[in-house]
Structure 1
């Protein structure tokens, strides 16, 4: 679809009196929104979809088990001799970390908590999906490295675990 066809589509929608039109084709998604019928202001969004990737529907449920990802556990960097015996649980995705399942519930883990492999240690919200972050190691939480409702980056350390 070229720019001339898009312009003709905008004019057609404006004349028809429709307030919103969505058009999806193979590699293009177009949304045209107009204000009141006959108004001059139009808003058009054109989004090119990557070829070869199916469009995925996203769930807005607070817990999405199919989308739950596990945090990779790797030995902590030997920056301090103190922390070299601990295992670091790192963020597998970019998003906002929450230490509680909801604001009125207690935190998943605290310093001193004993965790087992597969226990949920936090959730990370990414694009309205809440991903449960599970521990890949068993042990005791010795340090929480991030605050509740804080943004996190990929591979950012979240917790230090003593595996002994």
Structure 2
């Protein structure tokens, strides 16, 4: 009869560990203050772009960057703009090689997003506006679209951009 506390099973279980999270770069601009802080006749037009970059740091360690860029405009006037590069160092343990890419491109940004969202909301509030709470992002959908774009580029014979 085998003795033990089941640590052999636990040692072989897949794991995703967030080693550290950090702001790599952040910018907030309120270029037309204080004029832009007055009452607005209509809701501002808000545009947000999302990107994810991954860099392998060691055999099991990956730096994942979540890039959020956004702006709010009222007609032709810019109310505010922001750029946030929020990153984390993640360790993937006992993850099959073919499953690593989706994990770092979907699950890691999903773990980073609530923290990045809060940084943006607080910066916008500190800039004199109501906090901007970015809607949840479907990282799985973004990943699928990126794979489709890469497949289309391959079909056209164009060089493939790195994901």
TM-score category of the 2 structures, normalised to the smaller one: under 0.3
- Bigger share in helix: 2
Structure with greater contact order relative to length (CA < 8 Å, sep ≥ 6): 2
- Return the index of the structure with the highest Cα Rg: 1
- With normalisation by structure 1, the TM-score equals 0.23
